[in-house]
Structure 1
Amino acid sequence: MEPVAYDFLRKLLDTPSPSGYERPIQDVVRSYVRDFADSVSTDLHGNVIAAKNPGAARRVMFAGHCDQIGMLVTHINENGFIYAQTIGGWDAQQLIGQRMVIWTAEGPVPAVISRKPIHLLSDEERKSVVKLDDLWLDIGARNKAEVAGIIKIGDPVTLELKYTEMRNKLASSPAMDNKVGLWVCIEALRRASQQNLQVGVFAVSTVCEEIGLRGAQTSAFGVDPHIGIAVDVTHATDCPTIDKRQQGDIALGSGPVIFRGPNMNPVVTAKLLSLAQEKMIPHQISASGRAVPNDANALQVNRAGVATGLVSIPNRYMHSAVEMVSLEDIDQAADLLAAFVISLEGTEDFTP
């Protein structure tokens, strides 16, 4: 991975982006793409659209969502403890004892989120799965008035952002879902921009995927692509307790995952697989028999329909503070997407 690409990845992972509050990370994206994109725009929804060769007759869209799951401040009690609801799909047990950050208009405020200590739990409470209502945020304030002078109802909350490199070129951080997918889309555009493109390529940093694929819906309508490839994370199954019979045999470090199934155009999928073999890009194959719960879903049914592909990054421990991916997998995914658009002449027929 080139140093400039690695620096961009670190900036993405060090920037908060809970759904509905993606402006900071979109600023990072805009700053990076202006050096190689022919045009950069932001629509009214907040999607950032970077394009190369935008006037071409055939348009290809890469979609990678920039938003992460988070929380939203809903109440401050008289003693200065803060309650919040979730943004996106949380397992409440993942939140117990976590270091958090509340993102206020004046800047970040460190917080912790916890519950009553185990020593004080009743027998019934010890047997029960924790509920969000049982958790609260603590910033160390003395009372409600002190908190209210700093934090407002509706301020977003995220896990403390922390990037850690692991052994064997793996890395762990909150929000790998889907900042690594976003990185792949933007980096693929940068790599493809150095070649003679015959098609228009639109790399879109989509918003609000975690609350219903909303940014992909609006940006795809605006771009109106003929071909679309979504890049998101998928569950790695190379850790204990996951059933490979249904989830597939997916491992970190074995390459990006190319999905097959009714949500994916078979011609696009076949071309991705063929290019991966031709370019000797390590890859894995997975399948989904339903509409997938990511931006590929919205892409496929945009307007009169889009020839859609899905390339995914294996991710251990999704929607947690310790999501883990392979840096080699994301680098290879960027190479695959760049090879795909470079190979197009603009006359290909993607009719199934």
Structure 2
Amino acid sequence: MQIRNILENLVETPSVSGFEQSASHIIESFLKDTCNDIKRDKLGNLIAYKKGNAQKPIKIMLAAHMDEIGLMVKDIDEKGFVKFTTIGGVDQRTLLAQEVIIHGEKNLLGIVATKAPHLQTPEEQKESIKIEDMLIDIGLSKTAAEKIITIGDPITINRKIISLQENVVAGKALDDKAGVAAIIVCFKELKKWHHQCDVYGVATVQEEVGTRGAMVSTFQIAPHIGIAVDVGFGKTPELSKGDSLDLGRGPGIGFGANIHPKIHERLKKIAKEYNIPYQVDLSPANSGTDAQSMQISQSGVATGVISIPLRYMHTSVETVDIIDIKNTGRLLAYFITSLDDEDLEEFLCF
């Protein structure tokens, strides 16, 4: 299946943090024929295991989070309008006039609305509208609404993936379903080859509310090496080159305190060897990815970060280049095979 089709299936399946079950089944359908075993843990992480050929293999964990930011029903007022709160880092400026889906007993379409500009005071017109002043109109009375939705139901933006020019696509939740797609590409590549490492591909849960899935899955897998596959800030006119990544110029290879320097160097070496375009993605302190939990699991894990360039993060029009996703998957696969016959202690020695 083509990467765009994979993305379409992932993006259009709701998976707000804590409600990732539907997306987990979609991801499983893409991975089940590429691995030796696939399972879910108690938190809901999906773990695909591909066995290596070595007697005492190096264990490598690839992690990309399948959860997305979203909203949650907080109340239903006397006229049937739905009040809501946020799950994860939602930018309230992007919500007004969005079409949403409330995932209750059945899916209900709604519109995020507020007071018309004609009725606002001059002072109100100067300020951005706060979430507490927004409501979701579902076209039902309170009595009718309460038969279908309840407090705590998740809400997602109703947005399908669209193709722009060249290989660029836009949609919601590409943070980090683009990363999940890259791991799927990696596993499909590895299916063609023999490799000595044991590989664990993990679609983690609840990254957007504290990298909780990575904490749990890293602890149980106890990998020697962990690589977080996430998205990085795509270049737009207002961003400097040092703070962003160019779409179509390859994945960003993370560098900073959250990243083991030998893994950073090996990823760059492999990219050059196989003519995979790459960029350096600086993370001076915390990478803001699953790597922050992977790195400090148990007695410590040597971690790396690969970032897929993405514009307009945490909006419903996140934008990526499909070729960057493909190259990320290839880079991961070649990195894994490069560790055949590697002395792990020597490789990771500072």
Mark yes or no: TM-score above 0.5: yes
Q: State the partner residue of 1:41.
A: 39
Q: State the partner residue of 1:102.
A: 102
Identity of aligned residues (%): 36
Query: C-alpha separation between the residues in 2 aligned to 1:319 and 1:204?
Result: 22
Counterpart of 2:138 in structure 1: which amino acid? I
SS at match of 1:282: coil
For these two proteins, the number of residue pairs brought into alignment is 345
Counterpart of 2:213 in structure 1: which amino acid? G
1:347 to 316, 329, 343: 343
Q: State the partner residue of 2:121.
A: 122
The offset of 1:9, in angstroms, is: 2.3
Q: State the partner residue of 2:193.
A: 195
SS at match of 2:333: helix
SS at match of 2:68: coil
* Residues 112-121 or 267-276, more deviating: 112-121
CA contact (8 A) 1:184 1:331 kept: yes
The offset of 1:344, in angstroms, is: 1.1
Q: State the partner residue of 1:60.
A: 60
Q: Do structure 1's residue 323 and structure 2's residue 318 form an aligned pair?
A: yes
Counterpart of 2:63 in structure 1: which amino acid? A
The offset of 1:90, in angstroms, is: 1.2
Q: Give the TM-score of the pair, scaled to structure 2.
A: 0.96
1:244 to 237, 241, 244: 241
Unaligned runs of at least 5 residues, structure 2: none
The offset of 1:4, in angstroms, is: 4.6
The offset of 1:104, in angstroms, is: 1.7
Q: State the partner residue of 1:7.
A: 5
**Which residues of 2 match residues 217-228 of structure 1 at below 5 A?**
217-228=215-226
List per-residue Cα deviations over 1:16-68 (Å, max 9, x = no partner): 10000000000111122111210101000000000100685310000000000
**Which residues of 2 match residues 85-100 of structure 1 at below 5 A?**
85-100=85-100
Residue 205 to residue 56, structure 1, CA distance change in 2 (3 Å): farther
**Which residues of 2 match residues 169-318 of structure 1 at below 5 A?**
169-237=167-235, 239-245=236-242, 247-248=243-244, 250-318=245-313
Query: C-alpha separation between the residues in 2 aligned to 1:161 and 1:351?
Result: 47
The offset of 1:105, in angstroms, is: 3.1
SS at match of 1:167: coil
* Residues 184-193 or 45-54, more deviating: 184-193
The offset of 1:115, in angstroms, is: 1.2
SS at match of 1:202: strand
The offset of 1:351, in angstroms, is: 2.5
The offset of 1:310, in angstroms, is: 0.3
List per-residue Cα deviations over 1:283-329 (Å, max 9, x = no partner): 11121110111101111111111110000011110011111000110
Query: C-alpha separation between the residues in 2 aligned to 1:274 and 1:127?
Result: 52
The offset of 1:6, in angstroms, is: 3.8
Unaligned runs of at least 5 residues, structure 1: none
Counterpart of 2:172 in structure 1: which amino acid? P
The offset of 1:100, in angstroms, is: 0.6
Counterpart of 2:174 in structure 1: which amino acid? M
Q: State the partner residue of 2:82.
A: 82
Q: Do structure 1's residue 23 and structure 2's residue 21 form an aligned pair?
A: yes
Query: C-alpha separation between the residues in 2 aligned to 1:221 and 1:85?
Result: 31
Query: C-alpha separation between the residues in 1 aligned to 2:301 and 2:95?
Result: 38
Q: State the partner residue of 2:142.
A: 144
CA contact (8 A) 1:59 1:201 kept: yes
Query: C-alpha separation between the residues in 1 aligned to 2:2 and 2:323?
Result: 16
Q: Give the TM-score of the pair, scaled to structure 1.
A: 0.95
Query: C-alpha separation between the residues in 2 aligned to 1:56 and 1:190?
Result: 24
* Residues 108-117 or 201-210, more deviating: 108-117
CA contact (8 A) 2:45 2:217 kept: yes
CA contact (8 A) 2:64 2:176 kept: yes
SS at match of 1:109: strand
Moved >6 Å (runs of 4+):
none
Query: C-alpha separation between the residues in 2 aligned to 1:159 and 1:199?
Result: 40
Query: C-alpha separation between the residues in 2 aligned to 1:201 and 1:131?
Result: 45
CA contact (8 A) 2:74 2:151 kept: yes
The offset of 1:128, in angstroms, is: 1.6
